[in-house]
A and B are shown apart, each in its own frame.
Chain A
């Protein structure tokens, strides 16, 4: 979707403001939000693509007015509600509805070190034929799906070159909507800065973007 999250190349958001000696978390509630991601993910409540899309759907004004961990919190509330894990009343009160069955948490404290160390790679161990190879010139499709995509607006319709093939990965445009992994090759694609931003950009500079087969056509 052409949402506010797709920020590349925009202006008007104010200065970049690095914080000296920045703490890892700025408030206790941020820690609790952070700590919910892996347990909910382990419980199968959502995949990372659904999570990102929930943030993208939050609305432009709200997105810009809220912080990173507020985005996460919004996604958790949205997805637990949409997937019937919680009711609106439960989210509001923090009380489980009567007769709620007590489950065993999918992620136990003892398993945290192993889960952190293993992660969850989106790489798919499946032989899929690549459509392109290193050095191929490609044009990025000009598509504007109303659904989740990882294709930024600023590369659409632009001419690039396959820099390297990362291998076969889950396709987020499909996975975010429960339509399967649709595994396909994902490439690092080179664009000259002038191709993306015009002749005022430095002739020496370049941008590398990771793009899947379904986003690309031969040049």
Chain B
């Protein structure tokens, strides 16, 4: 069932991003005519929205990270062929067709960006947050990553190499964060619960439990 027409008028659009014409009216007209012509099935749209609202998100990437922390061979496969290893856990498809996983270590810290648009690994991290898609992040993290990371509350020591990955092609990246100390006794499920979206983008560390 799609009931979106009933509550469209109740949406609040941020005043600072309001364009000359109202996107609510424009998308309503666009959807209506595409459906009328038989080009788009509104139920397919509903199914897509529901998928990314409920099933696809950073909890998927957290499973990948927890497995890599607990299974040395899996970790090896993940770093050698990210796409195949992530698919082992069932995460495949749109905006994650070709995956590369980069590993944080004591000497290397990785952080992701798409300076040209907003490419992001959907199957493992879900849809990107607004700040990741915003001009301030895309413009700055590539030239002054340490300062940007500081603003996220992450101080990187001078002797640690910061690697910024700009996903300009169709490869999608994901950071394998450092496993926090004091987690040796935790199960894979408990570890997955510690893993945050921001740690897999590279703008946060994972705090010990």
Interface residues of A (CB under 8 A from B): 5-11, 13-19, 22, 24-29, 31-40, 43, 45, 52, 55, 62, 64-70, 73, 76-77, 80, 85-86, 90-96, 100-109, 111-113, 115-123, 150-152, 154, 166, 169-170, 172, 186, 188, 193, 196-197, 201-202, 204-212
**Smallest Cβ distance from A56 to chain B, in angstroms?**
8
Query: Judging by beta carbons under 8 Å apart, are A205 and B163 in contact?
Result: yes
Q: Which of A91, A152, A186, A212 contacts B166 (CB 8 A)?
A: A152
Decide yes or no: A73 and B26 within 8 Å by CB, A16-B140, A31-B49 being known contacts: yes
- Which positions 110-134 of chain B face chain A at CB distance < 8 Å? 113, 115-118, 126-127, 129-131, 133-134
Residue on B nearest A186 in the bound complex, by CB: B169
Q: Which of B49, B94, B146 contacts A120 (CB 8 A)?
A: B94
**Max chain A CB contacts within 10 Å: which of B30, B39, B47?**
B39
Residue on A nearest B87 in the bound complex, by CB: A117
Known interface pairs A8-B115, A33-B27, A64-B135; 7 further A-B residue pairs with C-beta atoms within 8 A, sorted by A's residue number: A16-B151, A24-B126, A32-B27, A73-B30, A85-B39, A96-B36, A119-B92
Query: Judging by beta carbons under 8 Å apart, are A208 and B163 in contact?
Result: yes
- The interface on chain B, measured as residues whose beta carbon lies within 8 A of the other chain's beta carbons, has a size of 86
Decide yes or no: A43 and B166 within 8 Å by CB, A10-B139, A210-B171 being known contacts: no
**Max chain A CB contacts within 10 Å: which of B11, B29, B162, B168?**
B168
Query: Judging by beta carbons under 8 Å apart, are A208 and B166 in contact?
Result: yes
Query: Judging by beta carbons under 8 Å apart, are B168 and A77 in contact?
Result: no
Binds A, one of B17-25, B69-77, B184-192: B17-25
Q: Which of A18, A55, A64, A109 contacts B131 (CB 8 A)?
A: A18
Question: Which chain A residues border B152 with CB–CB below 8 Å?
Answer: 16, 18
B88 within 8 A of A: no
**Smallest Cβ distance from A165 to chain B, in angstroms?**
11
Query: Judging by beta carbons under 8 Å apart, are A105 and B98 in contact?
Result: no
Decide yes or no: A166 and B171 within 8 Å by CB, A16-B136, A93-B29 being known contacts: yes
